[in-house]
Structure 1
Amino acid sequence: MPSLLKVNNLCKSFKQPFGFFGSKEKVAFGPVSFTLEKGETLAVVGESGSGKSALVRTIAGVLKANAGDIYISGNSIRTLSSQQRCVSVRMIFQDPSSSLNPKMTIGKILNAPIELNTNLDAKQRHQQILDTLKLVGLLPDYLAFYPNMLSSMQKHQVAIARAMILNPDIILVDEILTTLDISLRFKIVNLLLKIQKTNGTSYIFVAHNMHLVKHMSDQIMVLHQGKIVEKGAAEEICDNPQHEQTKYLLLTHQPDYRK
């Protein structure tokens, strides 16, 4: 049986201005190869600029790869429609305050992906929204709220609900914990773990803090300057790091329970 997700020699680079009229290629990451199984969490860690966010945005389809292949359940994403890709892979962006449309109610925000990507009628869509709200721990009353009426924690819950609304196989989580204090970070992590246990969802979790990802990850992949420098079981990577960059990340991201 093929892996749920297989990334094979994926590469991404950008053109940057150089001189007065020229340009040059800047490599964001690559080549990168890995697999992800059903119900598994892969943490992608590294310093700022290591290519973490560019990698997950490329997998999500927000960015276009320069080379390499992505397979979902053995099928190349090149053969999937945009609807099939949206149903299979969803993304939680870094800052819910900027990724949630301030002019739309929570009900409309959650309804949009279902309306665009399924053939469900209005009654079925409403029930799916209610079920998803319950999954993330929010009451139906929040459907009439606007994002600016929510707390930081509630905005994160809505962002998770929007990602889960189509019951995808894979959720890409792009550093959503950076704006939260330590107690709320663990609440969000525990919510994601609960959803994973209930739905069998797989995660690719982008973060700086290796101590936090150890709590929820099966595998850790360390990126440095766009390259994979270390990859393996989370406990082994954290307890017995081999690469200097991994050791540096562990030393510079000690837990701070005063926050």
Structure 2
Amino acid sequence: MASIRDDVSKYIKNKYKASPEYLWKRYPSFAVYRHEDNRKWFALIATIGRDKLGIESTDEVDVLNVKIDDLMLRDILLQQPGFYPGYHMNKGSWMTILLDGTVSLDEICNIIDASFLDTASKKKKDKFRQPKEWIVPANPKCYDIEHAFDNADEIDWKQGAGIIKGDTVFMYVGAPVSAILYKCKVKEVDIPYDYEDKNLKITALMKIKLQKRYKPDKFTFDRLKSDYGIYAVRGPRGIPNSLSAALK
């Protein structure tokens, strides 16, 4: 089978703008890819003998080393053809993948993405992570959230920790409404703002755009508690898959 080394290299360069580093004269085929900020490796491409992986052959093969922190995922992958414990790496967290076509390019690219995130700084993880869904509380005694979208479909709101551009927020309006009323998309974050009183401190805003309205009797607090195990909404929080499906 033909090597897909060049295809893997192109994927890394195009998506992550990372160039190969050849660190050892003794091993000219070994190409390291790393983050530019924390300098951690997230991939290594090399040409080695198949016997180095316990395969009964002296033929050479291109391989990819990646870091996978999810132990369950590693165990599952290592049971599939083309996956091996990390060659010349910590076998507890690294694995080696054949680049001879045994594993599809699409699957390899997905695993590179996982390795990139597992080795990235927090700032970079936030940038590259998949969009998340949140429930965000709103106190109608402090802000007339029930009428916030009467004249505009975009408003500024207090930015919650961990929320980034592209995330979805479901606005939960507190008592006496006590229900989710709006689904919004986060369009912008880190808008400077300085406000503080005895009950509230705001240092940054996010811009959210209305996508959907819900009737006040649809996703009430009683239903969130009984059907989805949500017993409090005191700050931005993730939501279970079952509630995510119902809200759609």
In the superposition, the TM-score normalised over structure 1's length comes to 0.25
Bigger fraction of residues in helix? 1
In the superposition, the TM-score normalised over structure 2's length comes to 0.25
Bigger fraction of residues in strand? 2
